[in-house]
Amino acid sequence: MVNYKLVYTKQAGKDAKKLSNSGLKSKALELLEIISLNPYQNPPPYEKLIGDLNSAISRRINIQHRLVYEVLEDIKTIKVIRMWSHYGDRSEFCVN
């Protein structure tokens, strides 16, 4: 089996720093290793996204944060788009 090359968007690079600071680096690295070997491996489960990111796949890093990536089969490359929350800061919605 051919390994996929991993490339990162600028945003994913910023997200990697946040993951490292939050103690989630090892879980993210585990997922990156899995997808570099087989981006469609299940488990761990994944979801194909819809809308603007309809060509992307999402996997949970934890309950809040997700690894979002696109598979470029023709060049055996994984483009890592995000590795942090796509929900934003929910604290702004709290009512006191």
| pLDDT attached to residue 2 | 76
| pLDDT attached to residue 1 | 63
Which domains does the chain show, CATH number per domain? 5-86 (3.30.2310.20)
pLDDT at 12 > cutoff 90? yes
| pLDDT attached to residue 65 | 94
Other CB atoms within a 10 A radius of the CB of residue 78 amount to 20
What average pLDDT does range 52-79 have in this prediction?
Answer: 95
pTM, full prediction: 0.85
Banded model confidence at residue 81, pLDDT cuts 50, 70, 90:
very high
67: Cβ–Cβ under 8 A, 6 or more apart, which residues?
28, 31, 32, 35, 58, 59, 60, 61, 80, 82, 83
